[in-house]
């Protein structure tokens, strides 16, 4: 079972294949929400995947469209609600904004 490392806190959480990063982060006690259905320019489930991209599903059109409409997006940006664990590779993510500590 892969381990999710959450920066900057350093918390870790094991996550089964098929689990979203959003669910894994909630299970780790991170007070993260998803507002992807709203028209906000920032979404609290936006995060950076620092390591382990191959352990996640590939981005699909709804996620890329949403990221294209947001501010502060980078090459490591993903939406936790759209990222699904699909292998055994460990993943390191960086939380943004108020969630970063």
H-state helical runs in 1-101: 21-27, 61-68
| Rounded CA separation 38/73 (Å) | 17
What pLDDT was estimated at residue 1? 92
Helix (H) / strand (E) containing 79: strand 77-79
What is the phi-psi region of residue 15: left when phi exceeds 0, alpha when psi lies from -120 to 50, beta otherwise?
beta
pLDDT in tens, 61-70: 989 998 988 8
pLDDT higher than 80, residue 85: yes
Mean pLDDT on 8-21 = 96
What pLDDT was estimated at residue 88? 87
Q: What is the total count of domains within the chain?
A: 1
pLDDT higher than 90, residue 84: yes
pTM of the model: 0.89
pLDDT in tens, 22-67: 999 999 999 988 877 655 555 778 999 999 999 999 999 989 998 9
Residue-range definition of the domain harbouring residue 83: 3-100
- CATH code, domain with 36: 3.10.20.30
């Amino acid at each position: 079972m892969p381990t999710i490392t959450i920066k900057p806190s350093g918390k870790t959480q094991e996550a089964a294949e098929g689990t979203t990063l959003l669910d894994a982060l909630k299970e780790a006690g991170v007070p993260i929400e998803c507002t992807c259905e709203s028209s906000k320019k920032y979404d609290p489930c936006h995060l950076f995947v620092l390591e382990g991209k191959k352990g996640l599903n590939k981005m699909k059109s709804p996620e890329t469209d949403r990221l294209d409409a947001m501010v502060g997006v980078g090459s490591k940006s993903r939406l936790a609600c759209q990222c699904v664990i699909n292998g055994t590779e460990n993943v390191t993510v960086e939380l943004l904004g108020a969630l970063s500590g």
